[in-house]
A and B are shown apart, each in its own frame.
Chain A
Amino acid sequence: MTPTLRGRARSKTSKTSPTSPTSSASPKAVARRVAGHVARGLAMIWVVATISFVIIREIPGDPVKGQYESLIQKGMSPEQAERATAVLYGFLPTGSLWEQYTGYINSLLHLDLGRSLSTPGVEVTTLIGSAARWTVLPVLAGTLLSFLLGVIMGVYAAIKRSGRLGDVLALSGSLLHGVPVYVIGLLLTAIFATLWPIMPSGGPVDVEHVPGLNPGYLGSLAHHAVLPVVTYTLASYGGWILAMKSNVVAVLGDDFILAAELRGLKRGIVFRYIARNAILPLFTVLALSIGMLFGGSIFIEQIFNYPGLGLLLVGSISSRDYALMGGTFLVITIGIVVANIVADLLYTAIDPRVRSGGAA
């Protein structure tokens, strides 16, 4: 019974006072909400850490033990070899499963993800840190662009849903939403880098430029970022246009739109009523979309040879650098968890209706 009751109560408050701050919009409620999210996020990170621990342990051939034994063969004492392996993977090669697990979690708590095997001696956190910016910036740019495009096109698709234009828009949205991101990326590269070479085919920047704030370097950066960002944009544009369209269609049937029309308000104002109410639920989709784009970055970076987290993850698997693999996987998860929390806070800040109580 509770969910329906809560739903009814919420819609009632929204109708009586859509904008006035309700009594329950206290900082306390918001703090409780955030605490719930952080707790769930931490649980999520713990699940993923456990998964990567189990996988690193279960990899055929046991790389951890193999490393330990090869170090002993090279003439290290068992204690030295043990310590050297622990530095790499974050847990001791010997001992029970439970000891290894607590060791692994313990080093994670100290923000130690181990060391890379393929780039010897470098800490995994350093590698991830330098890769992250190549992923985060294009993902953010792509998300913003596709959000803007999708929302605007979504309103048109909803209003013109019986016409040719609406059909084409909705179909393009569904198609782009369903088509794998690597299909988009490969098609774009084939067209704009191979057949009609106006874009560079790979890499983040031309090598001849000196890194720094000079126009040549920045221009080359931007030039190389065009195709990846367009791919990110097209990959998530479909989701936005579909979501916005269905929200607008739902809002169009609401009484307050009819009332606004009957009162003879200008089209522009009615349009604003529609858009404002339809756009709100999209902020919950925002989190999912960012998660999807992080997943998509694996393909996009592979296609455009862009040195971000996705390329790091695939590279670590093919070079059997398992500490790096586990670390990258964990950091991608953390990125998604953080994006989730931010999107939810944004939603809370924008929509007065969600601010009631501490119910998630």
Chain B
Amino acid sequence: MSIMTNAQETTDPRSAPGGTPGVTRATLRRNFWRGVWRVLRRKPSRMVGVVIVAGFAVMGVAGPLLYPDHLPRDDDALYAPPSLRHPFGTDFEGTDVLALVITGARYVLLTGLATAVITVALGTLIGLFAGFRRGRWDTVLMRVTDVNLAIPGLPLLLVLSTVWKFESPLEMGLVLGLLGWGGIARAVRSQTLSLRERGFIEAARGLGLPTTHIIGRELLPSMAPYIAMNMLIAVTGAVYAQVGLFFLGVLPFESNNWGVMLNLAVFNGGALTTAAALPYLMAPLLAILLLTLGIVLIVDAMDEIFNPRLREE
């Protein structure tokens, strides 16, 4: 990492150390947005990612408002094939599958958001603390992180589901967050370790600036993009785990969500043996695929914006 940034510093005159007196914060910011624009324009597919994720966010917020509390059933059209009225057909009770996907999005996305916030908050705090204090605290915290990383998460979740029913999305997010912070903690720690030896941090320390300033104003901003990317990735992890738990059927079906749909389609509807229930299975699968694609495209774009060595030679 440090080798690469050094190389970049020597090739990019603007960021060369000592050569920046005339560059103000405003021009730096303008340069940054110009870079963002360049990356987005070079590969328009990145815009697609923003659009997809924004679409899902709208779906999560407004989706359940579009439909009545109890979705209408059509007893004459069980497992109806896709049509104009039912773009993805109907389920075993004759409910429109598209409506199920849209109303089920809120639970999934809320869990994803809660998980991401908790994962990132815990991971960043622990990583920063371990990397900045070093010494004994570092050793202890990294041992805990190792355990956190090595525990098989999904089997543990399954076993936990016998005593804990994860009634609300927030509760689920809390558990997933508590299980998933290890990767971010370790990455943030190693970034902290390498950053704290760099000139600008040493200068800040030499100026006698308080630790809160060094961490909050100097260290965190340089890691922020990285942390933001990890937050988005944590959302995909959360979707994986919670939809998976419902798919396996180890949690009670309290409300409609994508995992419940998958479970009913596969184990009740026999979607894997007959083609009739296939649209019912495909709709939530496509939703998960699209959401992942959107997040991946955004992370990809962010990676290129903030990580200059990935840009073309």
Contacts and interface: CB of A to CB of B under 8 A. Distances in A.
A175 B154 contact: no
A162 B43 CA distance: 11
A194 B278 contact: yes
B10 to A, nearest CB: 12
A161 B310 contact: yes
B162 A55 contact: yes
Interface in B274-299: 274-275, 278, 281-282, 285, 288-289, 292-293, 295-297, 299
A337 B146 CA distance: 12
A222 interface: no
A52 interface: yes
B240 A332 contact: no
B244 interface: yes
Contact of B152 (A178, A182, A201, A332): A332
Nearest to A44: B150
Interface string A275-303: 00000000000001001001110110011
Interface residues of B, number: 60
Contacts of A193: 272-273
Given A174-B300, A317-B161, A333-B152, A194 B313 contact: no
A295 B155 contact: yes
Interface in B144-172: 146-147, 149-156, 158-163
Contacts of A4: 193-194, 197
A171 B285 contact: no
A298 B309 contact: no
A313 interface: yes
B51 interface: no
B288 A162 contact: no
A202 to B, nearest CB: 7
B161 A182 contact: no
Nearest to A299: B244
Interface of A: 2-4, 40, 43-44, 47-48, 51-52, 55, 58-60, 161-162, 167, 170-171, 174-175, 178-183, 186-187, 189-190, 193-195, 201-202, 249-250, 253-254, 288, 291, 294-296, 298-299, 302-303, 313-314, 317-318, 322, 325-326, 328-329, 332-333, 336-337, 340
Given A174-B296, A296-B154, 16 more contacts: A48-B151, A60-B163, A179-B288, A179-B289, A179-B292, A180-B240, A190-B278, A195-B275, A294-B155, A298-B244, A313-B155, A313-B158, A313-B159, A314-B158, A325-B159, A333-B151
9 contacts: A59-B162, A162-B313, A179-B289, A190-B281, A193-B273, A249-B309, A253-B309, A325-B159, A329-B158
